[in-house]
């Protein structure tokens, strides 16, 4: 939201008074004086008029978890354990999941309190590469690579998947890179070429890799890792 809106949303502060407060250098964003009412301010920033806080900074959490097999990418469930149970209780109410993994899938899962940031991970237009190690029930046919590069038609969504690339690792194992995060995307792509996924492990999303994290453990992302997603 624009800073002038945040200031003038306060009871009793008109638009005109907000501009006067700004011009007088009495508004601070995260402890720096800000004169520009047009500046965009997120809910993760603190705004003060003199020494009075008029917007508390919401906590910004950016975590990566190595999701173990059998955990649901959900906040609560009465049948299965959820990934939230692996996170310390104080953080749980603030977090949502950026790019779910199926219950049987393992690997990199991102949790954040910043929904705008985490949505970028799966938005097709942003084209962040997601790398999966995939094992299949049957030998991976030679046409698979071409079909995935051309894109697979998803009847339900009436769309073609973005070009994906394959690196063969064995007769029934590949490293697959895709640029979207559609519902059961990898399973549906293999299904479309007459195969079936038997195990799926997400190794990375953009520059974020899950290497070095034990299954079930998580860590906070560095500021550099957060900004690498934009």
The catalytic residues are: 102
Number of residues that bind ligand URA (CB under 6 A): 8
Helix (H) or strand (E) holding 112: strand 106-112
Contact residue for ligand URA among 55, 105, 113, 136 (CB under 6 A): 105
By CB under 6 A, tell whether 122 contacts ligand URA: no
> Nearest distance from residue 170's CB to ligand URA, in Å?
20
Distance, in Å, from the CA atom of 108 to the CA atom of 131, rounded to the nearest integer, reads 10
* Residue from 44, 26, 181 nearest 115 by CA: 44
> Nearest distance from residue 105's CB to ligand URA, in Å?
3
Distance, in Å, from the CA atom of 64 to the CA atom of 70, rounded to the nearest integer, reads 18
Q: Is the dihedral of CA 82, 124, 222, 55 positive or negative?
A: negative
Distance, in Å, from the CA atom of 135 to the CA atom of 157, rounded to the nearest integer, reads 26
Nearer to ligand URA, 56 or 138 (CB): 138
User: Is-contact 94 113, C-beta < 8 A?
Assistant: yes
By CB under 6 A, tell whether 109 contacts ligand URA: no
- Region near ligand URA per CB under 6 A, out of 19-27, 38-46, 53-61, 184-192: 184-192
* Residue from 52, 80, 53, 48 nearest 67 by CA: 80
> Nearest distance from residue 199's CB to ligand URA, in Å?
10
Helices 185-192 and 143-150 cross at an angle (nearest 10°) of 130
- Region near ligand URA per CB under 6 A, out of 7-15, 16-24, 75-83, 99-107: 99-107
Q: Is the dihedral of CA 20, 25, 26, 29 positive or negative?
A: positive
By CB under 6 A, tell whether 101 contacts ligand URA: yes
By CB under 6 A, tell whether 185 contacts ligand URA: yes
Nearer to ligand URA, 18 or 176 (CB): 176
**Interacting positions 190-229 with ligand URA (CB under 6 A):** 200
Contacting positions for ligand URA (CB under 6 A): 101-102, 105, 184-187, 200
């Amino acid at each position: 939201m624009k800073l002038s809106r945040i200031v003038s949303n306060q009871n009793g502060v008109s638009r005109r008074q907000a501009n006067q407060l700004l011009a007088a250098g009495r508004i601070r964003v995260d402890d720096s004086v800000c004169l520009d009412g047009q500046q965009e301010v997120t809910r993760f920033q603190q705004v003060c008029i003199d020494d009075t806080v008029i917007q508390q900074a919401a906590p910004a959490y950016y975590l990566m978890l190595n999701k173990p097999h059998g955990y649901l990418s959900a906040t609560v469930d009465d049948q299965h354990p959820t990934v939230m149970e692996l996170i310390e209780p104080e953080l749980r109410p603030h977090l949502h999941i950026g790019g779910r993994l199926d219950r049987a899938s393992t690997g990199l899962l991102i949790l954040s309190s910043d929904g705008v940031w985490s949505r970028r991970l799966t938005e097709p237009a942003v084209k962040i590469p997601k790398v999966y190690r995939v094992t299949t029930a049957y030998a991976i046919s030679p046409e698979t690579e071409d079909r995935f590069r051309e894109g697979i038609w998803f009847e339900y969504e009436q769309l073609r998947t973005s070009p994906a690339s394959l690196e063969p690792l064995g007769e029934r194992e590949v490293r697959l890179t895709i640029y979207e995060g559609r519902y059961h995307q990898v399973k549906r792509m293999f299904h479309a070429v007459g195969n079936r996924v038997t195990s799926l492990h997400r190794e990375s999303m953009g520059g974020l890799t899950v290497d070095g994290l034990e299954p079930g453990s998580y860590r906070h992302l560095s500021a550099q890792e957060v900004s690498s997603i934009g």
